Chains A and B, each alone.
Chain A
Amino acid sequence: MIGGLFIYNHKGEVLISRVYRDDIGNRRNAVDAFRVNVIHARQQVRSPVTNIARTSFFHVKRSNIWLAAVTKQNVNAAMVFEFLYKMCDVMTAYFGKISEENIKNNFVLIYELLDEILDFGYPQNSETGALKTFITQQGIKSQHQTKEEQSQITSQVTGQIGWRREGIKYRRNELFLDVLESVNLLMSPQGQVLSAHVSGRVVMKSYLSGMPECKFGMNDKIVIEKQGKGTADETGKSELGSGKQSIAIDDCTFHQCVRLSKFDSERSISFIPPDGEFELMRYRTTKDIILPFRVIPLVREVGRTKLEVKVVIKSNFKPSLLAQKIEVRIPTPLNTSGVQVICMKGKAKYKASENAIVWKIKRMAGMKESQISAEIELLPTNDKKKWARPPISMNFEVPFAPSGLKVRYLKVFEPKLNYSDHDVIKWVRYIGRSGIYETRC
């Protein structure tokens, strides 16, 4: 279990220090050990888990802030990281961006939160909605809170559905569904896919009255096939249809409100959603990914002092859709002494501080192509080390899900109140972003 939690700024100064267990020994030592061995390490520490003197440090970094969970025991590392991410979400929900300034301003609040979401090192309820009911930023409210309200909070937090309180009422029952995906790719210069996967999340924002029971459906291959079998007379037709539309999900995780038993037996996703925004599920796919862009690099070394680079990008989706925020990053050798760039579309610039040419295009429709060419001058150097040729990377945003995931339905039942599935206004949005999207050159 987690023995303690520290938050550092970029200099390694401790902003927050909360110790849950005595086994991490002298607090000062543990704090210093992490600072010396990770934050101030000579070589950048890449592993998120560091073992120093039989003590494990799990850290995540948000901008310039380090969050480190410390333990002496053999804990489930995934659990610790899940907790750290949750902790970041909670803090963001309370005071916005995680920065040194914000942490210093809210440090009483953070200690309050830490007391609540972690008890003797065991993670507790970290649902922002629930926390916000009893940990508030408006000073002490207890005088104004009635007994009734308090007991309501208690029964909610300790009850079966800890994430939703009773008696919520909306005039308009509305829900928003976002499918957010990030697509990762590594491609050889010849255009062969070396590795590709999509990690996606379904985020839901619900404004529903009462205790609604929801059912979510998507084009999961297993479900579609099952249905195809169930309705035997329609076999031919549905199989033809599902073959194109269904996707194979490699693995997925759900928000705690989803009834896992039902998912296990029927593979149906049913839940009572928390009020407000939450992440319904996370998933990963590796098959049949639609790659939104193709990068074709062409690098030619002209003598020892010159390099010619030509890069073509092709958009590979419906012409009616528009990709946004496109950025291509072409690395330059370390001994670059001058760069000339010509591009037809967008803007390109040599950024010396990053050793790269950055080419930005605001918008690009599907089935188009565009190209850039650059001339790089090199300074002769003493050591004959060859340039490692790092891959060309790309950033973009497209309005569809590269995995091919489709939301088939989201049904809402509220037996006690008098609104039906049809009365609920539902919005669905797909956003595909680039993760690590690289092409070797």
Chain B
Amino acid sequence: MPAVSKGDGMRGLAVFISDIRNCKSKEAEIKRINKELANIRSKFKGDKALDGYSKKKYVCKLLFIFLLGHDIDFGHMEAVNLLSSNRYTEKQIGYLFISVLVNSNSELIRLINNAIKNDLASRNPTFMGLALHCIANVGSREMAEAFAGEIPKILVAGDTMDSVKQSAALCLLRLYRTSPDLVPMGDWTSRVVHLLNDQHLGVVTAATSLITTLAQKNPEEFKTSVSLAVSRLSRIVTSASTDLQDYTYYFVPAPWLSVKLLRLLQCYPPPEDPAVRGRLTECLETILNKAQEPPKSKKVQHSNAKNAVLFEAISLIIHHDSEPNLLVRACNQLGQFLQHRETNLRYLALESMCTLASSEFSHEAVKTHIETVINALKTERDVSVRQRAVDLLYAMCDRSNAQQIVAEMLNYLETADYSIREEIVLKVAILAEKYAVDYTWYVDTILNLIRIAGDYVSEEVWYRVIQIVINRDDVQGYAAKTVFEALQAPACHENLVKVGGYILGEFGNLIAGDPRSSPLIQFNLLHSKFHLCSVPTRALLLSTYIKFVNLFPEIKTTIQDVLRSDSQLKNADVELQQRAVEYLRLSTIASTDILATVLEEMPPFPERESSILAKLKKKKGPGTVTDLEEIKKERSSDMNGSAEPASVNASAVSTPSPSADLLGLGAAPITNSAPPPSSSGSLLVDVFSDSASAVAPLAPGSDDNFASPDLASSEVVSEEPADTVHDADELFHKFVCKNNGVLFENQLLQIGLKSEFRQNLGRMFIFYGNKTSTQFLNFTPTVICSDDLQSSLNLQTKPVDPTVDGGAQVQQVVNIECVSDFMEAPILNIQFRYGGTFQNLSVKLPITLNKFFQPTEMSSQDFFQRWKQLSNPKQEVQNIFKAKHPMDAEITKAKIIGFGSALLEEVDPNPANFVGAGIIHTKTTQIGCLLRLEPNLQAQMYRLTLRTSKEAVSQRLCELLSEQF
């Protein structure tokens, strides 16, 4: 040991350590340690003063014993004493002991902090360095409290040595990471940025790390760092490998600094200054060029350093996403890595390509590598790389290559690792659905999927097949044929039985003509699987049987026999038994007509976002794929024909549990096969059932439902083009306290709304349902805002398809932003041609100020305090009015909550009164609102008082709310 041979080396320590290492057993080690501890204790007893050397030696021994896992409960004082020594070695050991063993011991912490402060104030760079290292190593909140203010000063002081600056920057970074709130931002920040220009590369590296972390939180303050970073980067990149001497690592100039600078630049959008921008592009090009050069060394460190810089540069290019030729070059560069023999490189290349695929500039370039990626999927040994390959295939998929990719993924699925099977299944299902041109292909793919990996096919996947088959009549026959054939396999997965049962029950008649799939054969085939299935599947099959009774009256008796058998009628499972009993009775009692009505074909499902996609998102979390998905969806919104994907949130709001209501399989057996009107209770989104009846009665009693609109009040559309606004006030007012429902309905058209609001933003889905059997032509809905309104409300509408087929529905999304408070409501104008006549109608869109309410809970004391603060007479508006509806406290409460404000209980001394509070969010301001509603039951009157910080708002809210009671 060289340290021991020197005069300063601690011989006693070396002997002790070697003694411990030579111990034969744990007991012997403990004995030796006990002996040493007793010795140190006797030395520290305080009879005679110890010299610095022995103090250091014993503290070292204690430290060693502590690191061996024994408790040390003394010696802290001696260590603190060492801190004030003037010798480096003694100070160092003292700091080492403190950073390892310090706890929040109140008396000592003060002494330690004092010692650190002294060292920071000293001009000795090594002492300052030791102190900074100790602060960073401990990095506790206490340390941050004591020194967070001091370190920035050291960092930016002109006369600080480079090495100290380096330590100070890293120390500050550490403190910022542990307790960001304690590091004060100040004028030092601008000077820190200038450290990027420092001559000492070590300082620059440390400063870059610090700035990157700080800039992530406060991008504005460090904006100036961009141009400095770019110029520093360009100097490094263009320098020859010998220029930077110590900072050249295996012929790569300052790779760590380059990577950090590139990371820093990733915190910001592409620089706006064209000069800086040009310089950056140049840098990135140089990096890409350098990657192409033959390696200067065969050592792995050289290529690692070079690739690190390259990958970081590519991430920056992807982050900027603005230079098409750079993106394409990056993509080609990555393409080369795809076949590299380094597994890590292949992994990284695939990962980066995944993000590249989402950029519109490089999407095509990524697609050229499809063969290589598919090959990687087949031959790659490392499972994580295969996983990335699957991700990339998913990301690069579009209409042109969907068939190939889906086929490859299906192939791979047969041999895929169990851990990623479910994900692949979901991805295949999504891709197949999204890019299906030909729905027979889609059905084939999904059935294949169930065959290959039935266990991994989640409920959502097969729900989705059924949805699509039911909604598209052109594939129904084919689907029935295919499932029938698939079911003939001796062993088939339960999910296949489910799909088969459902589809044959609906469309079995389409293939019944063929003697090979006659009704009886179909039934026997399904029934042969019956006993192997679980209860939910059996329940589904029972529904299929009753549907067969309707479809094929000739096998009614066979089915009745089956239903009547003891294993059904007396089944231990309540659900199965109930179904069997009810279906049996239904088939015996009901006449053919009733049967035909009850067991009618399922109505088309409303179009909504694929529940599979939601599932994938849930699985992945907010990962890259999700973002990709969003981007792609926007770009290819019309890829799925008329099936415009509805918003995620919309479906999340209306379908809290997609598995439960998607097909209505879960609960009541009858609703499953019941005709549309009564099933719409569970399918709330299905506002437009296309049944011929003019008024689609909605299931009463359902919470989410709304009372059916009074049609009489809304005028029938006039024949001639007219500009009459349908001022169906009552309808309009209904929407003040709720977000979803039917806005307008006549013989031709039904308009439904679903909307959601969050702070000052909102989104509204308008559903136009064609109630006739003829097409609407030139269908153009427009949202009109008056001039006043335009300035305070931003509305963005997406255009809709100009033709609406008979019985079909189209959807329009309106994005809403509230800039400031407003009074009026925008008007929705719809023009279309029906038959030969031109139709024109206008309705008020129920976008009212209270939609931007955020409820606020507050205590009674708070409420009255604020109430008093808003005592300016202009801020208060009061209205006394007669009740229009029965005065029911519960309904009133619900209305106040629906209105958007929080309902505050136990605030008003009179319990009959209602008190609410909330904040209206607009882009420009936030307006606090307090309201109080006092009912007078005898007089059937209400008194409504509103106090807000803005007069107009009080007025408008009062108007809106008065109409509600």
Contacts and interface: CB of A to CB of B under 8 A. Distances in A.
B25 interface: yes
Contact of A64 (B25, B31, B74, B105): B25
Contacts of B41: 335-337, 379
A383 B105 CA distance: 10
B25 A355 contact: no
Contacts of A338: 42, 45
A44 B24 CA distance: 15
Interface in B208-251: none
Contacts of B32: 353
A352 interface: yes
A10 B74 contact: no
Nearest to B72: A382
Interface in B14-42: 24-26, 31-32, 34-35, 37-39, 41-42
Contact of A354 (B31, B42, B44): B31
Nearest to A100: B24
Given A44-B26, A355-B34, A382-B76, 12 more contacts: A64-B24, A334-B37, A335-B41, A338-B42, A352-B39, A353-B35, A355-B38, A377-B45, A379-B45, A380-B74, A381-B73, A382-B74
Given A336-B41, A337-B42, A338-B42, A352 B74 contact: no
- Give the residue among A10, A44, A337 with the most B Cβ atoms within 10 A: A337
Contacts of A352: 34-35, 37-39
B514 to A, nearest CB: 58
Contacts of A353: 31-32, 34-35, 38
Contact of B38 (A64, A336, A383): A336
A337 B105 contact: no
Given A379-B44, A381-B74, A337 B38 contact: yes
B25 A379 contact: no
A103 to B, nearest CB: 15
Interface in B59-97: 69, 73-74, 76
B45 A337 contact: yes
Nearest to B76: A382
Top 5 A-B residue pairs of the complex, sorted by shortest distance between their CB atoms: A352-B38, A353-B35, A353-B31, A337-B41, A381-B73
Contacts of A354: 31, 34
A109 B267 CA distance: 74
Nearest to A332: B38
- Give the residue among B39, B42, B69 with the most A Cβ atoms within 10 A: B42
12 contacts: A42-B69, A44-B26, A334-B37, A335-B41, A335-B74, A336-B38, A337-B42, A352-B35, A352-B37, A353-B35, A379-B45, A379-B74
Contacts of A337: 38, 41-42, 44-45
Interface in A362-407: 377, 379-383, 385
A306 B714 CA distance: 99
Nearest to B45: A337
**What's the dominant secondary structure at chain B's contact region?**
helix
B104 to A, nearest CB: 12
Interface string A308-348: 00000000000000000000000000111110000000000
Contacts of B44: 337, 379
**What's the dominant secondary structure at chain A's contact region?**
loop
B873 to A, nearest CB: 66
Contacts of A355: 34, 38
A383 B73 contact: yes
Interface of A: 10, 42, 44, 64, 334-338, 352-355, 377, 379-383, 385
Contacts of B25: 10, 64
Contacts of B37: 334, 352
Interface in B169-192: none
A335 B73 contact: yes
B396 to A, nearest CB: 45
A355 B35 CA distance: 8
A381 to B, nearest CB: 4
B24 A10 contact: yes
Contact of A382 (B26, B38, B69, B73): B73
A287 to B, nearest CB: 36
Contacts of B42: 337-338
A181 to B, nearest CB: 27
Contacts of B76: 382
Nearest to B31: A353
A382 B24 CA distance: 32
A355 B37 CA distance: 10
A58 B402 CA distance: 62
A110 B42 CA distance: 49
- Give the residue among B31, B38, B41 with the most A Cβ atoms within 10 A: B38
B334 to A, nearest CB: 43
A334 B34 CA distance: 9
Contacts of B24: 10, 64
Contacts of B105: 382
A377 B32 CA distance: 21
A355 B39 CA distance: 12
Nearest to B43: A337
A334 B31 CA distance: 13
A20 B727 CA distance: 95
Nearest to B39: A352
B621 to A, nearest CB: 34
A377 to B, nearest CB: 7
- Give the residue among A335, A336, A338, A382 with the most B Cβ atoms within 10 A: A382
A381 B78 CA distance: 12
Contacts of B35: 352-353
Contacts of B39: 352
Nearest to B69: A42
A153 B42 CA distance: 66
Contacts of A379: 41, 44-45, 74
Contacts of A377: 45
A190 to B, nearest CB: 30
Contacts of A335: 41, 73-74
A262 B26 CA distance: 49
A380 B105 CA distance: 15
B363 to A, nearest CB: 51
Interface string B613-635: 00000000000000000000000
Contacts of A381: 73-74
A382 B79 CA distance: 13
A338 B105 CA distance: 27
A241 to B, nearest CB: 50
A381 B77 CA distance: 10
Contacts of B73: 334-335, 381-383, 385
A337 B38 CA distance: 6
A67 B532 CA distance: 54
B598 to A, nearest CB: 58
Interface string B304-321: 000000000000000000
A126 B74 CA distance: 54
A301 B865 CA distance: 62
